[in-house]
Structure 1
Amino acid sequence: MKFVSFVRVRIFRTLVLAFTVGCLLAVLPSLAQSNSNQSNSNQSNFNQTNSTASIMLDGRKIFEVTPSEQYSAQERAEYVNQVLQEQVKTAESPISVEIKDQQKIPVIEINGQHLVSVTSEDTPAGRTTQEQAEFWRKKLQTVIQKAQYERTPMYLIQAIVISMACVLLAIALSWVLGKLWCNWLKPQLEKDAAESAPLEGAKQPNSPKIAGQFLLGLIRCAIWIYALIYITNQFRQTRQLSRIVTDTLITSLTSDLIPLGDNSYSVLNLLILTGLFVGLILLAKVIKQGLRSRVLRFTGLSRSSQETIAVILNYAFIFITSLVLLQLWGLDISSLTVFAGVLGVGIGLGLQGIAKEFISGLVLIFERPIQVGDFVDVGGLMGTVEYINVRSTEVKTLDDITIIIPNSKFLESEVLNWSHHSSVSRLKIPVGVAYGSNLTTVRSALIDAAKEHTDVLVQPTPRVFFKGFGDSSLDFDLLVWISEPRKQFQIKSDLYFRIEVILRHRGVEIPFPQRDLHVRSGSLPVDISPQLVESLAQLSQSLAKWLDQQPTANPPQDGNGHK
């Protein structure tokens, strides 16, 4: 049941990811193809956009005006905005907005004061100036009523209550998302990883967990950004600033800033393209795992061959789909020739190390001097090869520590591969016994100890060699063959334990280092000069005279007066 559940989850994830990428491939390229047309239309409307100015009241955009014969659009907008602000501040009663004709030109007046004249340039096609004036009048009336209401204490209390409710709602949503992550999604991801680990034979990476935490953080940030924008729009003092920040952010994301080839792309387009590439890489990873665990496993190939095929297909899929994606996105690949030339120069100068590791990785993948699953010794680091990438190789040591080794080290230094072509390898167990031991007993004891171990192969049979006479022992080598090089240290330890027990049981002594020191008596011929003999004689006479001149001390007496 666990296997079926695991397969269902994997298939569901694969289908969802494939559907998402397919939708992006179907929708986003059309958006990219329209970039050029949109940029052209934006360019054609650039002068028109810059020739208009917005009429604003308390941060709300009402309409836009165009230049007249006497004034520019900015001058007209500044005058209208100033009049609106003064009328809203000073007027206590409702403000009247009326339309009057002056020389056949509709003029909008506010409380009898001239506000703006509606010209033919302000009127779009299919509408008269009178209709445009009436349209502006209604919008002005609505916005002015809102502005007057926002200056009342009742609205201020209402805005504060709404803002506090918005903050509380954002806190509640963040808390609910955290609870859903901790109590449902995170345990489910850990359960899936635990169930899939035995099937794939390796510890699963925690990339889904990291991706989930990152997505949770993005959702929380979006909630608080939206709450902040909504709160600032409730107050007229901050609405203008909020609008400026929002418009600047949207403009910076959607404006065509980066030219590539014949088209120009915005930051948002590049972000979407980057997300699409990430989706393709994730899809390639899912396909690679599916090939390795669902298809190649049943082909009967070795683990190293399966890994090689999966890696080659993975990089081929990424390369081909990247080219197709760039073409569908509207980016001319031929426009990247200059970039390719610069990249080639960078590889030749500053990226020599990366290029060296990349080429070494290709040599390892295709020539296969080492393969996934081999037990190797590289510079004193012993472990099992887990993955061979184009830049580095992952080796898991006997301490279950993963070490990342550059690929060039496998080609430039000596590598001891215990599993190359065959996993059967020979172990040498040196043993020393005391002089005078029965050699036949020693040989049979070593052979018996080897045959009793379950990891020692029956064929080839264990063998014993008499190396020679050592300083303190008779030296032997026990040769055994094993099929699991990774367990060689454990096998050696087990054999030594068993050898010691058998030798002690059969009366064979294992010696310790000994050294014999022989000392012989005799006289040493010493030649002394006459001057030295004369000096020693004079010194002896002087010492004797000095002792004679010293007073003799009274000897101690006992209680009876005897000395």
Structure 2
Amino acid sequence: MLAEIKHYLSYPLFTFNERVITLLEVLMVPLWLIISIWLSRVFIGKLATRLKNKNKDPNIVHLIERVLYVIALAIIFITTLSMLNVPITAFAFLSGAIAIGFGFGAQNIINNFISGWILMGEKPIRIGDFLEVEGVKGTVEEINTRSTRIRRVDGVHMLIPNSKLLENTVINWTLRDKLVRGTVRVGVAYGSDSEKVASIMLATTSQQPEVLDTPKAAVFFQDFGDNALIFEVYFWINSQVEGGLRLVSSNIRFALNKAFEEQGIVVAFPQRDIHIDGTLALKHENQPKG
């Protein structure tokens, strides 16, 4: 039985480069490709998992994964050519022609590919950063060689070409740290005690657990408005998403509304005083005769 299998596997199929190619060699190539690619994925995946468990920077782990995967593919390709006894120089002319055609036809792909490696190496944008791109806000989930995946604040995923992230203006809210400044603006009625209003706003804001002690919150008397005295409180929080800032601002407004009601401070609303020069003559209608 084994002799018959060996005989069939040794059966010559064709001659390439003055060398007889057998059935075994033909079957070995796809088998080698499948096993080598699978082993590469398993090895790289386990290495990445181990690095993540050691709390390594996910951006560095992602970059290592990409570099090792490219190296593995190059080794597999060269080894496959060696198994087929095909010299690499045989591809010199063909690869040059393909490179020229590919360069003209795939400029955007190459641009995004190079931009992806720049993003992973230079790290102006990292996994987990909160970005604002062309009016859209979201969190970076993955940086690939062609595009970057961002999860918007409404849960929708976006794929943005890497070249756009380098060529256009991008606001990275968490590039250096997670500090985000928020503001709450309030207008109170004329005649209110301005110092008391400022004290209530500062105390109410500082009592929020998310508001940081450093930098400290600050209250500013911004302006004498048409209908109100305008006050504004500035505060800082640690946040990676826009929802965190909105939630804290909302909680501050709830607390201010309650505190103002307890202290008898009126939140202003639009109103107009009408002054009439001269006297008004009221015309009385004749009463019907009974």
**How high is the TM-score relative to the length of structure 2?**
0.79
Work out the CA distance in 1 between the residues paired with 2:19 and 2:141. 44
- Cα deviation for residue 404 of structure 1 reads 1.0
| Structure 1 partner of 2:263 | 506
Structure 1 residues 303 and 427: CA distance shift in structure 2, 3 A: farther
Structure-2 residue corresponding to 1:293:
49
Q: In structure 2, what is the Cα distance between the partners aligned to 1:448 and 1:270?
A: 79
- Deviation string, structure 1 residues 455-484 (Cα, Å, up to 9, x no partner): 222222211122212222222222111111
In 1, the alpha carbon distance for the partners of 2:34 and 2:21 equals 19
Contact kept? 1:288, 1:311, Cα under 8 Å:
no
Q: In the alignment, is the contact (CA less than 8 A) between 2:29 and 2:83 conserved in 1?
A: no
Change in CA separation of 1:471 and 1:332 when aligned onto 2, cut-off 3 Å: farther
Amino acid at match of 2:143: I
Q: Judge which range, 469-478 or 315-324, deviates more.
A: 315-324
The match for 2:120 is 365
Aligned to 1:378: 133
CA gap of 1:424–1:325, structure 2 versus 1, over 3 A, is farther
Per-residue displacement from partner, 1:339-365 (whole Å, max 9, x unpaired)?
A: 322332223211111011111111111
Q: Of 10, 14, 20, which aligns to 1:39?
A: 14
Structure 1 322/465 Cα, relative in aligned 2: closer, same or farther at 3 Å?
farther
Match of 1:345 among 73, 93, 100: 100
Question: Using a 3 Å threshold, how does the CA distance of structure 1 residues 520 and 381 change in structure 2: closer, same or farther?
Answer: same
User: Is the Cα contact below 8 Å between 1:263 and 1:331 reproduced in 2?
Assistant: no
Alignment check: 8 A CA contact 2:228 2:268 kept? yes
Choose between structure 1 and 2 for higher RCO, CA contacts under 8 A separated by at least 6 residues: 2
2:276 aligned with 1:496: no
Q: RMSD between aligned alpha carbons?
A: 3.2
DSSP-derived class of the 1:511 partner:
coil
Please say which structure displays the higher CA radius of gyration.
Answer: 1
Q: Is the 8 A contact 1:280 1:318 kept in 2?
A: no
One-letter amino acid of the structure 2 residue matched with residue 490 of structure 1? L
Q: Is 2:172 the partner of 1:410?
A: no
> C-alpha distance in 2, partners of 1:517/1:278?
86
Q: 2:221 aligns with which of 466, 473, 481?
A: 466
What SS class does the counterpart of residue 361 from structure 1 fall into?
helix
Structure 1 residue matching 2:255: 3-state secondary structure: helix
Query: Is residue 425 from structure 1 mapped to residue 180 from structure 2 by the alignment?
Result: yes
The answer on whether the counterparts of 1:428 and 1:477 sit within 8 Å (CA) in structure 2 is: yes
Separation (CA, whole Å) in 1 of partners of 2:37 and 2:49: 18
Q: Measure, in 1, the Cα distance between the counterparts of 2:269 and 2:26.
A: 75
- Say if 1:434 and 1:38 are closer, same or farther in 2 by CA, change over 3 A: same
Partner Cα separation in structure 2 for residue 481 and residue 370 of structure 1 = 22
More helix by share: 1
Judged with a 3 Å threshold, the aligned counterparts in structure 2 of structure 1 residues 316 and 502 are, in CA distance, closer, same or farther, namely farther
Contact persistence 1:456–1:480 (CA under 8 A) = yes
Question: 1:404-461: CA deviations, max 9, x gaps?
Answer: 1110111111111111121222222222222222222222222222222222222222
* 1:454 paired to 2:218: no
Q: Report deviation, 1:305.
A: 2.7
- Which segments of 5 or more consecutive residues in structure 2 lack a partner in the other structure? 1-8, 280-290
CA contact (8 A) 1:307 1:372 kept: no
Q: Give the Cα separation in 1 of the matches to 2:18 and 2:257.
A: 82
Alignment partners' CA distance in 2, 1:481 and 1:417: 17
Q: Deviations over 1:156-183 (max 9, x none)?
A: xxxxxxxxxxxxxxxxxxxxxxxxxxxx
C-alpha contact 1:468 1:476 (8 A) present in aligned 2: yes
- Secondary structure of the 1:427 match is strand
Whether contact under 8 Å (1:433, 1:509) holds in the other structure is yes
Once structures 1 and 2 are overlaid, which stretch shifts more, 358-367 or 468-477?
Answer: 468-477
User: Do the aligned partners of 1:432 and 1:476 also contact (CA within 8 Å) in 2?
Assistant: yes
> What are the residue-to-residue correspondences of 1:547-558 with 2, within 5 Å?
none
- 1:314 alignment partner, one of 59, 66, 69: 69
- Which amino acid is the alignment partner of residue 513 of structure 1? P
327 and 480 in structure 1: CA distance in 2 versus 1, 3 angstrom threshold: farther
In structure 2, what is the equivalent of residue 90 of structure 1? none
Other-structure match for 2:82: 327
Secondary structure of the corresponding residue to residue 39 of structure 1: strand
2: CA distance, partners of 1:281 / 1:496: 57
After superposition, the Cα gap between the structure-2 partners of 1:460 and 1:349, relative to the gap in structure 1 and judged at 3 Å, is: same
Instruction: Tell me how far apart the structure 1 counterparts of residues 75 and 13 of structure 2 sit (CA, whole Å).
Output: 29
Q: Any idea what SS the aligned residue of 1:485 has? A: coil
Residues 350-397 of structure 1 deviation map (CA, whole Å, 9 limit, x = unaligned):
111101111111111111110111111111221111111110001112
- TM-score normalised by L of structure 1: 0.43
Supply the distance in 2 between the matched residues of 1:264 and 1:350 (Cα, whole angstroms). Answer: 38
What's the CA shift string for 1:276-299, capped at 9, x where partnerless?
Answer: 54554444443333223223431x
Instruction: Give the 3 Å change call, closer, same or farther, for CA 280–383 of structure 1 in structure 2.
Output: farther
Task: Work out the CA distance in 2 between the residues paired with 1:386 and 1:354.
Answer: 21
Asked if the contact 1:296–1:306 (Cα under 8 Å) also holds between the matched residues in 2, the reply is yes
Q: CA deviation at 1:403?
A: 1.3
**What percentage of residue pairs aligned between the two structures are identical?**
32
